[in-house]
Structure 1
């Protein structure tokens, strides 16, 4: 069974999560097919709508593939669940298939050192020329870390991000120790399509390579939709 996995407002997601938790408390031992049928009946009986939405579900592979074209409508990916499996708290029994896009961003800060960066903090300009923090990368592989280090230079004052703090991830309170760098390096990344209200990628992006053939002015602005086709 494949389920549409989407993203939206934090309030709706929180309410939906609470309903899901309460609903599961009495039905964790049921197989997924029975839990799903009961949940659909609950939505129909109470006529739930508005901030609550029941994600589409299918056993048809062709329909699931078609959903992968729905990124503009908020599709983040697919979640695969076994029809006869009970809910297993604390275990990774489901499989996720996330839609990713290849795009570019500027490197505005790093963790580690200029000579040996560990992760990168990409950013994008808005239409007014302000550089916005848009997320962070996964830990760099040795090869890409060496490539990036060969192009980094310490950020000149005043840096657009001077004085601000950065967290370790979406929803995290852990503060990163960063080094500001000159935001003139164009980085090709692979990112999933889930973003927060500020336009930041909710999950760490993967650094692919430095794009010396792409100018700073060619990087998509904050909020612009990428033209490259998404990959998985």
Structure 2
């Protein structure tokens, strides 16, 4: 399923008929509950990640048959969302997933109801979908919960200022009368900062001389190649990779990654446990055709 998207804005939209939701620092996830108890969890890229989140899949079986949710999967740690932990969960093999689910339990912040009892609601207004979303999830409770929502711009402004301490990166603004349009940037997103934590999943070049990093950013599970590293960052990345890998070697990834102006290029992929301890602060930009990721600094696990 193609998901609805948001375009960035630099100030809080105000006016009648608007709804405001906090934007969590996690992974976009569509939950599909089929008749007969079958559940599918789909990432934004279309990848099926049901086996990586057995705790959410089990919780989703309590949904009425024919329910489709859109939302964000997050992992809470010490009172705030932890994107590296979410990425660890998303990369888990079926064999490791149950143990990770116990150690890093996932929560699902649902912000839209796309189908109810098999009826497609995408053409209906957000206001109606929100009302039905709350009604569907209210009897269930955690880990499936609706995101908070307000129509008061002053309350939304207060959220914007106070919630970053909990890992909320900003606000998403929607029109109450709009339908749900997959693949269209119909919503507006006000970020608290232009920088984000991204999980390093690979690199190009060599471990001793990495030229660019392959990262996964919040809200999108598709790996993306950064701009070329500065000479200083290449030295720091080489040291971080050497310490994180130890005696192990990265492997050629099965997939390629898109490089702006070049096309698809191969890269070396890090083991999941190494990625879990290596994050980068990045800035995000876009051109007409490409996302642009610039690495600002590296963070390693203590």
Moved more, 95-104 or 64-73: 95-104
- Contact 2:122 2:180 survives alignment (8 Å): yes
Q: Out of 136, 141, 144, which is 1:49 matched to?
A: 141
The size of the alignment, in residue pairs, is 176
**2:94 is equivalent to residue 2 of structure 1:** no
Q: Distance in 2 between matches of 1:139 and 1:48?
A: 40
- 1:163 match: 249
**2:115 is equivalent to residue 33 of structure 1:** no
Summarize the Cα distance change of 1:42–1:159 in structure 2 as closer, same or farther, 3 Å threshold: closer
Deviations 1:50-85 (A, max 9, x none): 322111111222322332332454534322211111
Q: How big is the shift at 1:101?
A: 8.5
Q: How big is the shift at 1:86?
A: 0.7
- Contact 2:115 2:121 survives alignment (8 Å): no
Larger Rg belongs to? 1
- Contact 2:173 2:187 survives alignment (8 Å): yes
- 2:268 match: 177
How do residues 1-232 of structure 1 correspond to structure 2 at under 5 angstroms? 1-6=19-24, 7=26, 10=53, 11-12=55-56, 15=60, 18-19=68-69, 20-23=113-116, 25-44=119-138, 47-68=139-160, 69-100=162-193, 110-112=203-205, 117-119=211-213, 139-141=225-227, 144-149=229-234, 159-160=245-246, 162-165=248-251, 176-177=267-268, 189-190=281-282, 206-208=294-296, 221-222=301-302
Summarize the Cα distance change of 1:21–1:110 in structure 2 as closer, same or farther, 3 Å threshold: same
Instruction: State the SS of the aligned residue for 2:268.
Output: coil
Q: Which has the higher strand share?
A: 2
Q: Distance in 1 between matches of 2:137 and 2:125?
A: 19
Summarize the Cα distance change of 1:158–1:92 in structure 2 as closer, same or farther, 3 Å threshold: closer
Summarize the Cα distance change of 1:90–1:190 in structure 2 as closer, same or farther, 3 Å threshold: closer
**Structure 1, gaps ≥5 residues long:** 122-134, 170-174, 180-186, 193-203, 211-218, 223-232
**Structure 2, gaps ≥5 residues long:** 1-18, 28-51, 70-112, 216-220, 257-265, 271-278, 285-291
The RMSD of aligned alpha carbons is 5.1
Q: Distance in 2 between matches of 1:207 and 1:22?
A: 39
Instruction: State the SS of the aligned residue for 1:3.
Output: strand
Q: Distance in 2 between matches of 1:220 and 1:151?
A: 11
Q: Distance in 2 between matches of 1:221 and 1:157?
A: 11
